[in-house]
Amino acid sequence: MKKTSTEGTIETDEIWIIRRPGRGLAARCPECGERTTLFTPDEAALLTELNQREIFRQIDSGLIHGVKMPGGLVLVCSNSIVKLSTDAI
């Protein structure tokens, strides 16, 4: 009996989030493509002195970048927070 073998390649994309509270997550923002720190909406609200509801409004309007992760977690691009702050001045 002749043995045959088949080789294949499977490519998967995974995102692992290992967080330390209050320090954000270093990653590339899919919106602006820049290497940045991603914060939770709560952390972004503290940094900007806005409330969490306003953070979500800013995400919905496109003024700041929000990244929706698997499981529903939303992370906010710090570069877009800084740009929003400097545009307000």
Q: Is residue 56 part of a domain?
A: yes
pLDDT at position 58: 94
Q: Is residue 19 part of a domain?
A: no
pLDDT along the chain (89 residues), means of 10: 72 56 77 91 87 94 91 91 71
pLDDT at position 46: 86
Q: In this structure, what DSSP letter does residue 63 have?
A: S
Q: Is residue 53 part of a domain?
A: yes
3-state secondary structure of 87: helix
Alpha-carbon separation of residue 13 from 2, 32, 45 (angstroms):
36, 20, 30
Q: Across the chain, how many H-helices and E-strands are there?
A: 3, 4
Counting the structural domains of the chain, the total is 1
Tell me the C-alpha distance between 12 and 65, whole Å.
25
